[in-house]
Structure 1
Amino acid sequence: MQRPLAGLTRKNFGRELLAGVTLIAIAIPLNIGYAQIAGLPPTAGLYALVVPTIIWALVVSSRQLVASPDAAAAALVASSIGGLAAAGSADYATMALAQAIICGVMLLLMSVFKLGFLANFLSKPILVGFVGGLALDILISQIAKMLGVKIESGGEFVEKLTGLVTGLPTLNIWSLLISVCAVLILVLGRRIAPVVPWALVVMVVATVVVLLTHADDAGVSVLGEVPAGPPAITWPMLDWSTWAMLIPSALALTMVTAAEGLLVSRSYGEKRGYRTSPNRDLFAFGVANVASGASGSFVMGSSTSRTAAMDQAGARTQLPSIVLAVGTLLLLLFGTALLADIPNPAIGAIVGIAVLPLLGIKEFRQLWKTDRFEFTIGAACFLVTLFVGSIPGILVSFVLALINMAKRAATPAIDVLKVDDQVSRSLLDEAPEGTVTAPGVVVVRMAAPLFFANGSVFTDAVKKAVTSADDAGNGPVKHVVLDMEAVTDIDVTGAEAFESMQSWLEQHEVSLAFSRMRPQTHDRLVKLDLLGDHDSYPTNREAVTALTRN
């Protein structure tokens, strides 16, 4: 088993510490903003950076993946719990804790039963559409914050957009000025010096400006008092019916966390040459989320942007996450007074710039060029998530994933080749030199298992291959050779279609032979009684070669 903080040496210790300081500068302002998106106090975002982060760093197999509440998780929390309790209320906060614990338990079960493959049902187009819809919803809220316009934070997208447009006459000019300056610093600063933690610079400068100019007296909203002290271990006390109501949203959060987290973990492991364990990563997500819910925070997932930032900073271990936890704890103990005068427009600018890449504009453009059907899937997920809700969005995502999978499985690649087209050697298991090709022989190759979704498609292709050769004036087909290399399995419905094809070939006096059949496929055919006296069906190279000479 991999030791904690794998990859840490005396040589890279200093670099890892410095990367941890950079992570503090990135994570603290973002987590404060994400807590606001979720409808929770700033401390909820900070508490996630202490106990859950330490546990994560000591358990996870990935040396670089950064775990934290992110924008998508925050939006999901707000949309799912917003209909059950008022944002900011005690019940709302308690439900957020319970939701994180349920999510953690689900992730632990996925790890124990090795169910990480379920996350693969969320393909890239689905993730792009789903996260993009959440990101646009978040962006509207942050724009309102940047302009000093008050809107209903827990409302639907249309309500937020309407509130933003109708509230423009109440725009606060000082909030707008702070936001414009913050955006310019963030955008231009990253181009000039990408390694500088510009989000922290914006927070510090904006806070100093508010203190010097008393902009809060002119209507600029500030963060307000942040309670000092470390996170306390607690447990959400709710009745069983409320726990049950949180399960659907927790399931959605679980699948998004698993899909995105495992993908990022594997990609960085391959990029930097170390092994990762999907089930161990799921276990780490699970215990981190249970710890998050038990220490006053909300659902944690993987942070792609922070992981990328740590990779660019040269971090190759989980030490930066430990440094982040220690730094956040010190802030909670001794520095919360510094947070009270941070202007909310600056936080809105920081979060708004951070979520812009999540809109998926580049990814949607690429999907449009490469695969229109997958683009349609992503766009459908985007629109449902945006206009109907996050939970319907994830449900539609799963349905579209199944439709996409069924569509591809039901229309497998089926090659029909005539042996007299000089292709016998590659198809017939590399028949010996000097094999003479002959008319009247057709080779059919299907690149998929034979099952209920494609059984009729396969048999129709075989029948068409036999009849079309005769209709084209090439003479009747006497022999059909099935290239079985890619047929790895056959189910009962596929077997019935196969049997029907055999009967049809017998009626038309066409013999049947097999090439390159896998042993397990042969055994499956025997078990399904599709070979009968299976010695009568040639399956080896010599039998097929002899057949082509007839």
Structure 2
Amino acid sequence: MTQASEGKGKGKGFSLPILQGILPIDRAGVGRDVIAGFTLAALSIPGTMGYTKIIGTPVITGLYTILIPMSLFAIFGSSRHLSVNADSATAAVVAAALAGMAVRGSDEWLALCSLIALMAGAFMFLARVMRLGFLADFLSRTVLTGFLTGVGVQVSLLEVSGLLGVHSTGNHPLTEILHDVRSLGETNPYAVAVSLAVLLIIVGGRKISQKIPGGLIAVLAAIAASWALNLGAHLETLGAVPSGLPTLGLPQLDWSWPLIWKLLPIALACFVVILAQSAATSRAYAARFDDRFDENVDMVGLGMANLGAGLSGTFIVNGSPTNTEMVASGGGRSQVSQLTTSAIVLLVLLFLTGPLAYLPAAVLSAIVFLVAVKMIDIQGMRRIYSEARAEFWVALLTAATVVVVGVEQGIVLAMVLSLLDHVRRGYRGNNTVIAADKRKKGWQMVPLNPAQQIAPGLLVYCFSHSLYYANCAQFSEEVLGLAKTRAPAPLDCLCVEAAAIGDVDFSAAAMLRSVCLLLREQGIRLVFANVSPALHAQFDRHGLTELLGANAIYGSVHAVIVDHEEKVAAAAATTAIDSGESGESDKSDDRART
């Protein structure tokens, strides 16, 4: 099990497949968790309604994402902190990918959104069976920063039309912003006034205290003002919002394999986003509060949450960093907070949906706009630029792809760039030579050129990566180059320090056999030190152990040095004996001639 702090935290020793985010219950902290749940409800209810504008579903579906999915993750997940809810990143992925497949906001559109949630949940269950939680590690923080920044730019540009009260034309941000500029003369002053008021309330509330539910205050104030001033006659409002609980069942669609096949890339892209974002959030908060979590168990919780979303007629859900921080800031330390939020939403659905009909649409646009702007991580991009210039351009390319091409293409590019960045960093390692440090009477790492022998006639080469087809040419080139070293004595033994070599593939094994034979022709013995049992087994399987010869694999570099010095001393003694015997023979010959 992956643990942020193994053996520590309140969840130590608890391993049931359910309720890992709740048990054991901290009785002293239950009240604090419940209060944090009220805080999350106050902030997330208007937020989730705003996300429905991104994905294009009825506003009530935003509340549905809290009701069942959040509860299911609280029961089946392992993280005590992760809050699962509607998310702008996955909402944008779905909205962009479904464009053209159905009329935005129609029953068919909603059914497709629910089907994607079911498919993403199925991917989660499959990944759990295959124990693929480690896949989250292959999306680097650099490209995730770029990806989320691109999503923030895209969503914020798409919401400008809602802030101005002009008609929206589509889901492409650049086209939409050009349309908004051309339509400035049609701006609705009532919508602009409401948008500015909402922005002022939320931003001003944050400046005073992060605990002030600015979104909820803005929503309640806008509903009251709309009812009192009849704003519905001047700008667009939500209209009648159905009350009651969602109807459970499969999405009402003409199910067919061509449709499933068409939605497969969308669901897969959402799966990757959910896996990466949720795992990163769980890991960060588990480390902060010294708790444990299991990525594979969390995948079950996320799968159940999306299964609940698909069957309750709403859209895909994700681990939300924003909501998780809301709970943590409010003092919540377990999934009791999320269960409390779900209970509050249940009461809203049963008794309080009537007033929502008066809510101006501009309010939701303003809330979504602020959420999107917060996703634009300018500080993170600046830090990447100052610390790793090459990675900055990777992040910027990912962000630009999301904005110009699309979110789905952006997440695919993010995956590819993450893997390419990993390969670029790993396949050509920064290898060194281990040499004697006479000042400290120890060893030190030195560059390959000029190479230094650790003892006369012995050179130790430290390779910093596993050996495989992409870097075996580098290994061969550097080892054969080191074989030319002649100072302070002709080289007769070259040792490879193999502590970092975890694997040798077929191509690398063939290269090692070739290098061994080439060195042997030059009278140089090739040996290895710090070989792990797993690597030793691979040497045996590839025939390398037999080719290297007896006593060519050592437990440490020190053992190599001792053995080499003994061999040198023995050779010197043999040479001295042979030289003495030769001298005595010459003297005998001289006496015989005399």
Q: 1:323 aligns with which of 306, 324, 340?
A: 340
**Distance change (3 Å), C-alpha of 1:453 and 1:46:** same
**Partner SS for 1:49:** helix
Partner of 2:523: 509
Partner of 1:205: 221
Please show how residues 180-259 of structure 1 align to structure 2 within 5 Å: 180-218=196-234, 220-236=235-251, 237-240=253-256, 241-259=258-276
Report the Cα distance in structure 1 between the residues aligned to 2:239 and 2:315, rounded to whole angstroms: 21
**Distance change (3 Å), C-alpha of 1:462 and 1:542:** same
Partner of 1:90: 107
**Partner SS for 2:108:** helix
Partner of 1:535: 550
Identity among equivalent pairs (%):
27
Cα deviation for residue 10 of structure 1 reads 3.4
Report the Cα distance in structure 2 between the residues aligned to 1:18 and 1:131, rounded to whole angstroms: 30
Partner of 1:282: 299
What amino acid sits opposite 1:253 in the alignment? C
Partner of 2:505: 491
CA RMSD of aligned residues (A): 2.1
Partner of 1:523: 537
Given that 1:419 and 1:439 are in contact with CA atoms closer than 8 Å, whether structure 2 keeps it comes out as: no
Report the Cα distance in structure 2 between the residues aligned to 1:530 and 1:260, rounded to whole angstroms: 43
**Partner SS for 1:11:** helix
Q: 1:442 aligns with which of 443, 459, 462?
A: 459
Report the Cα distance in structure 1 between the residues aligned to 2:324 and 2:457, rounded to whole angstroms: 61
Does residue 26 in structure 1 map to residue 26 in structure 2? no
**Distance change (3 Å), C-alpha of 1:44 and 1:13:** same
Partner of 2:448: none
Report the Cα distance in structure 1 between the residues aligned to 2:313 and 2:553, rounded to whole angstroms: 68
Partner of 1:309: 326
Q: 1:337 aligns with which of 326, 332, 354?
A: 354
What amino acid sits opposite 2:41 in the alignment? I
Report the Cα distance in structure 2 between the residues aligned to 1:447 and 1:386, rounded to whole angstroms: 38
What amino acid sits opposite 1:453 in the alignment? A
Report the Cα distance in structure 1 between the residues aligned to 2:33 and 2:455, rounded to whole angstroms: 69
Report the Cα distance in structure 1 between the residues aligned to 2:245 and 2:422, rounded to whole angstroms: 48
Partner of 1:105: 122
**Partner SS for 1:416:** strand
Report the Cα distance in structure 2 between the residues aligned to 1:141 and 1:305, rounded to whole angstroms: 20
Partner of 2:285: 268
What amino acid sits opposite 2:211 in the alignment? V
Cα deviation for residue 94 of structure 1 reads 0.9
**Distance change (3 Å), C-alpha of 1:424 and 1:298:** farther
Please show how residues 29-428 of structure 1 align to structure 2 within 5 Å: 29-152=46-169, 154-218=170-234, 220-236=235-251, 237-240=253-256, 241-419=258-436, 425-426=442-443
- Following TM superposition, the consecutive aligned residue runs of length 4 or more in structure 1 with deviations greater than 6 angstroms are 420-424
Report the Cα distance in structure 2 between the residues aligned to 1:397 and 1:350, rounded to whole angstroms: 27
**Partner SS for 2:159:** helix
Given that 2:60 and 2:242 are in contact with CA atoms closer than 8 Å, whether structure 1 keeps it comes out as: yes
Cα deviation for residue 506 of structure 1 reads 1.8
**Partner SS for 1:444:** strand
**Partner SS for 2:538:** helix
**Distance change (3 Å), C-alpha of 1:168 and 1:155:** same
**Distance change (3 Å), C-alpha of 1:143 and 1:7:** farther
Given that 1:427 and 1:483 are in contact with CA atoms closer than 8 Å, whether structure 2 keeps it comes out as: no
Aligned length: 538
**Distance change (3 Å), C-alpha of 1:211 and 1:538:** closer
**Partner SS for 2:210:** coil
Given that 1:419 and 1:442 are in contact with CA atoms closer than 8 Å, whether structure 2 keeps it comes out as: no
**Larger-Rg structure:** 2
Does residue 16 in structure 1 map to residue 33 in structure 2? yes
**Distance change (3 Å), C-alpha of 1:437 and 1:270:** closer
My pick for the range that moved more, 238-247 or 193-202, is 238-247
Report the Cα distance in structure 2 between the residues aligned to 1:74 and 1:303, rounded to whole angstroms: 12
Report the Cα distance in structure 2 between the residues aligned to 1:460 and 1:58, rounded to whole angstroms: 56
Spell out, residue by residue over 1:131-175, the C-alpha distance to the aligned partner (whole angstroms, 9 max, x if none). Answer: 2222211101222211112222x4322211211221222112222
**Distance change (3 Å), C-alpha of 1:163 and 1:425:** same
**Distance change (3 Å), C-alpha of 1:539 and 1:272:** same
Report the Cα distance in structure 1 between the residues aligned to 2:161 and 2:529, rounded to whole angstroms: 66
**Distance change (3 Å), C-alpha of 1:265 and 1:314:** same
Report the Cα distance in structure 1 between the residues aligned to 2:168 and 2:52, rounded to whole angstroms: 17
Report the Cα distance in structure 2 between the residues aligned to 1:41 and 1:177, rounded to whole angstroms: 24
Report the Cα distance in structure 1 between the residues aligned to 2:227 and 2:212, rounded to whole angstroms: 24
**Partner SS for 1:531:** helix
Report the Cα distance in structure 2 between the residues aligned to 1:186 and 1:542, rounded to whole angstroms: 68
Cα deviation for residue 522 of structure 1 reads 2.2
Given that 1:441 and 1:548 are in contact with CA atoms closer than 8 Å, whether structure 2 keeps it comes out as: no
Cα deviation for residue 495 of structure 1 reads 0.8
Report the Cα distance in structure 2 between the residues aligned to 1:308 and 1:482, rounded to whole angstroms: 48
Q: Which runs of 5+ in 2 are unaligned?
A: 1-14, 446-452, 569-594
Report the Cα distance in structure 1 between the residues aligned to 2:232 and 2:214, rounded to whole angstroms: 23
Cα deviation for residue 427 of structure 1 reads 7.6
What amino acid sits opposite 1:524 in the alignment? Q
**Distance change (3 Å), C-alpha of 1:10 and 1:539:** closer
Given that 1:419 and 1:443 are in contact with CA atoms closer than 8 Å, whether structure 2 keeps it comes out as: no
What amino acid sits opposite 1:186 in the alignment? I
Report the Cα distance in structure 2 between the residues aligned to 1:171 and 1:8, rounded to whole angstroms: 53
Cα deviation for residue 115 of structure 1 reads 0.9
**Distance change (3 Å), C-alpha of 1:163 and 1:444:** same
Cα deviation for residue 74 of structure 1 reads 1.2
Cα deviation for residue 350 of structure 1 reads 1.5
**Distance change (3 Å), C-alpha of 1:544 and 1:10:** closer
Given that 1:422 and 1:437 are in contact with CA atoms closer than 8 Å, whether structure 2 keeps it comes out as: no
Partner of 2:496: 482
Given that 2:114 and 2:309 are in contact with CA atoms closer than 8 Å, whether structure 1 keeps it comes out as: yes
Report the Cα distance in structure 1 between the residues aligned to 2:454 and 2:433, rounded to whole angstroms: 16
Given that 2:201 and 2:218 are in contact with CA atoms closer than 8 Å, whether structure 1 keeps it comes out as: yes
Report the Cα distance in structure 2 between the residues aligned to 1:123 and 1:437, rounded to whole angstroms: 38
**Partner SS for 1:12:** helix
Q: Which runs of 5+ in 1 are unaligned?
A: 429-435
Report the Cα distance in structure 2 between the residues aligned to 1:542 and 1:444, rounded to whole angstroms: 15
**Partner SS for 1:512:** strand
Report the Cα distance in structure 2 between the residues aligned to 1:445 and 1:76, rounded to whole angstroms: 45
What amino acid sits opposite 2:243 in the alignment? A
**Distance change (3 Å), C-alpha of 1:544 and 1:84:** same
Spell out, residue by residue over 1:424-464, the C-alpha distance to the aligned partner (whole angstroms, 9 max, x if none). Answer: 95489xxxxxxx96333221001111111111111111122
Report the Cα distance in structure 2 between the residues aligned to 1:466 and 1:22, rounded to whole angstroms: 68
My pick for the range that moved more, 236-245 or 527-536, is 527-536
Cα deviation for residue 480 of structure 1 reads 1.2
Report the Cα distance in structure 2 between the residues aligned to 1:421 and 1:530, rounded to whole angstroms: 35
